[in-house]
Every structure is written in C-alpha cells, then in structure tokens.
C-alpha cells in the first residue's frame, strides 16, 4: 500500500490465492495421468486411502493418517493431457458456492521428458503465513509424485517382454 492507494498485490492474500508449480518428470504422460487419477496410484504419493472415479462429474475421496479428509469432483479430464478438480471439501469443511478451490494439472511432453504444471486456486481468504505453508507443502507433494512416476517408468522398462510376442520370446 502506498499512501491511501491500494496496490493489487496487497489484495492477493485477501481475495484468493493461486499457486503455480512446474515439475519435470522422467515418465510418460500416461504414467503421470494414471498417478493423478487412479486410487491405487494416489495412495502411493498423495494420501493414505483413496477412492477415485476419474470421469466428468466423478469424485475423488482422499483420507490421510492425520484424520483429514478431502472430497473433490472432476470438472475436466483430457487423458494424458490435463485434468481439473473442484474441491467440495478440502479438509476444512464443505465449501460455500461463493468460494471455489480448484486444482488443475497440465501434462506436456517436451524433449524426452514430461512437464507437469499444477495450479492450485483457492478463492477463500488465506493469510500470508498459511499461503507460505501451502506453497511449501506443494513442493514436497510434487516431489513425491515425481519420484513415484519415475519409479513406475523405470520398473515398466525393466519388466521382461511378453513370451507370446514372437520377436521377444526366448528361443525354444
């Protein structure tokens, strides 16, 4: 704030927050998309228990060991490319219609790697301290996702080829 004039950045914490993160992952877009949309995969990096119905209007329900629960609805899915969730309850209770909390992932192949862009946009008021905690929390969560996807990709490459494929079957 300068004098009596409000600067836009002063309103940031009061009018809604947007966290944008980018991470490079050595895994295919399909591996990353599955990690974001399949219950079994979500439990490896995001939460302790999950049910996930990855379709337009389907729900993601997550539970953490702390007892915190979350519930979101898929509002956009483009397999291997992008997805968006609207959090109905992000652990702080059911949200009003005026407040919106969305989580978007954009997946792009580039130079033999995959770029994942995550945008967490929350319209509810958040203090600068809370914002910093959430921002730092996303760093560790996305590193968990990166590690998980890269392990999946490596293990897929190490699996033996199918014995029914004549090109890769061992000689008799």
Return the pLDDT at 10.
33
Return the pLDDT at 92.
60
Return the pLDDT at 156.
83
* Inside any domain, residue 93: yes
* Inside any domain, residue 161: no
* Inside any domain, residue 163: no
Q: Is the predicted pLDDT of residue 20 greater than 80, yes or no? A: yes
Q: Which residue in 76, 85, 98, 89 sits closest to 16, CA to CA?
A: 98
In three-state secondary structure terms, 97 is coil
CATH number (domain holding residue 108): 3.30.530.20
Domain count for the chain, please give it: 1
* Inside any domain, residue 1: no
Angle CA 80–86–89, to nearest 5: 130
Least confident of 40-44, 136-140, 166-170: 166-170
Read off the pLDDT of residues 52-63 as tens digits, 9 standing for 90 and up.
999 999 999 999
Mean per-residue pLDDT, 36-56: 97
* Inside any domain, residue 114: yes
Least confident of 6-20, 53-67, 152-166: 6-20
* Inside any domain, residue 149: yes
* Helix-helix angle 128-158:29-37, to 10 degrees: 120
* Inside any domain, residue 142: yes
pLDDT, the chain, mean: 83
User: What is the pTM for the complete model shown?
Assistant: 0.78
Between residues 91 and 12, the one the model is more confident about: 91
* Inside any domain, residue 6: no
Between residues 89 and 80, the one the model is more confident about: 80
**Residue 79 lies in domain:** 13-156
* Interatomic CA distance for residues 13 and 15, integer angstroms: 6
């Amino acid at each position: 704030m300068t004098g009596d004039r409000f600067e836009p950045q002063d309103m940031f914490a009061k009018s809604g927050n947007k966290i944008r993160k980018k991470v490079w992952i050595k895994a295919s877009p399909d591996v990353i998309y599955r990690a974001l949309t399949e219950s079994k995969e979500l439990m490896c990096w995001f939460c302790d228990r999950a049910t996930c119905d990855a379709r337009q209007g389907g729900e993601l329900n997550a539970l953490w060991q702390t007892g915190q629960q979350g519930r979101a609805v898929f509002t956009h899915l483009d397999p291997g490319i992008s997805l968006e969730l609207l959090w109905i309850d992000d652990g702080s209770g059911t949200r009003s219609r005026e407040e919106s909390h969305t989580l978007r992932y954009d997946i792009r192949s580039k130079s033999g790697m995959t770029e994942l862009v995550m945008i967490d946009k929350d319209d509810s008021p958040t203090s600068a301290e809370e914002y910093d905690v959430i921002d730092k929390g996303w760093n560790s969560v996305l590193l968990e996702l990166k590690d998980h996807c890269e392990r999946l990709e490596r293990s897929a490459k190490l699996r033996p080829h199918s014995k029914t494929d004549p090109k890769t079957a061992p000689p008799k």
